[in-house]
């Protein structure tokens, strides 16, 4: 009886250990580009907001600058929205279909952050 139980447990352990581990490196490198594009756009949004704040309203010249900045803001906003939609779809696929549990999901985002911090976002494709 003990022998049978041991064998049974071994089989369970065997099958449990056979669970295919997600290929985090592949997932991260595939996903990193789109995330980098979002990071670059985010930085641009904050830069423009900073610039806008630094402009005073009391000169006609600066009013013109504000108007031209509003056009840039509108364009960046649109690009940000489109990119956010793409990221949501891609991320949802990864988190829902490719990573089975919360631990794996957290591992993925941790590794993504580490990867981008290590490699930077210097050459992301313009969306």
Partner 1 sequence: MKPFQKTGGIVKHSASFYIVLSALFLFIASCTTDSVVQNSKFTDEYKADFLLVYYDHICRTAKTTQGFFPPQTARAYGYIGIAGYEAVVHGIEGATSLQNQLNGFSSYQLPEVISGQKYNWAIASNAATARIFKYMFEKNLTAANRIKIDSIETSTHQALAANEDAGIVSRSQEYGYQVAEVVYAYSKTDGGHESYLEPFQLPYAIPNDPYCWVPTGAVTNPLSPRWGKNRPFLLSNIDKVKPSAHMLFSSEPTSEFYKEAMVVYNTVKNNTSEQIEIAKYWADDPFATCTPAGHTFNILAQILKEERATLAKSSMAFAKMCLAENDAFISCWKGKYDYVLIRPVSYIKRYIDPSFNTVIGTPPFPAYTSGHSCEIGAGSRILTSLFTNGSGDYAFTDYSQLQYGFFARSYSNFDEMAEECASSRLYGGIHYPIDNSKGLQVGRAIGDNINKEVEWPRIIN
**For the window 65-94, what string marks contact with partner 1 as x by the rule CB under 8 A?**
-x------x--xx--xx-xxx-xx--x---
Instruction: Please say whether the dihedral angle defined by the alpha carbons of residues 107, 110, 36 and 91, taken in this order, is positive or negative.
Output: positive
Among 24, 33, 45, 98, binds partner 1 (CB under 8 A): 45
Nearest distance from C-beta of residue 120 to partner 1, angstroms: 14
8 lies in the binding site for partner 1 (CB under 8 A):
no
Among 12, 13, 100, 113, binds partner 1 (CB under 8 A): 113
* 116 close to 32: Cβ distance less than 8 angstroms: yes
**For the window 91-110, what string marks contact with partner 1 as x by the rule CB under 8 A?**
x---x------x--xx--x-
Burial readout 99-117 (b: 16 or more C-beta within 10 A, e: otherwise): beeeebbebbbebbeebbe
Q: How far is CA 59 from the centre of its chain?
A: 41
Based on CB atoms, which residue is closest to partner 1, 23 or 47? 47
**For the window 9-38, what string marks contact with partner 1 as x by the rule CB under 8 A?**
--------------------------x--x
Instruction: Please say whether the dihedral angle defined by the alpha carbons of residues 39, 41, 42 and 43, taken in this order, is positive or negative.
Output: positive
């Amino acid at each position: 009886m003990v022998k049978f139980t041991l064998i049974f447990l071994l089989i369970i352990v065997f099958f449990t250990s056979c669970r295919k581990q997600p290929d985090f490196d592949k997932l991260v490198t595939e996903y990193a580009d789109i995330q980098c594009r979002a990071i670059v756009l985010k930085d641009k949004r904050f830069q423009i907001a900073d610039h806008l704040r630094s402009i005073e309203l009391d000169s006609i010249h600066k009013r013109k600058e504000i108007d031209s900045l509003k056009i840039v803001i509108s364009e960046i906003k649109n690009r940000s929205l489109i990119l956010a939609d793409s990221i949501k779809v891609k991320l949802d696929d990864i988190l829902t279909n490719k990573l089975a549990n919360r631990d794996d999901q957290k591992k993925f985002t941790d590794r993504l952050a580490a990867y981008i911090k290590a490699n930077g976002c210097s050459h992301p494709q313009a969306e």
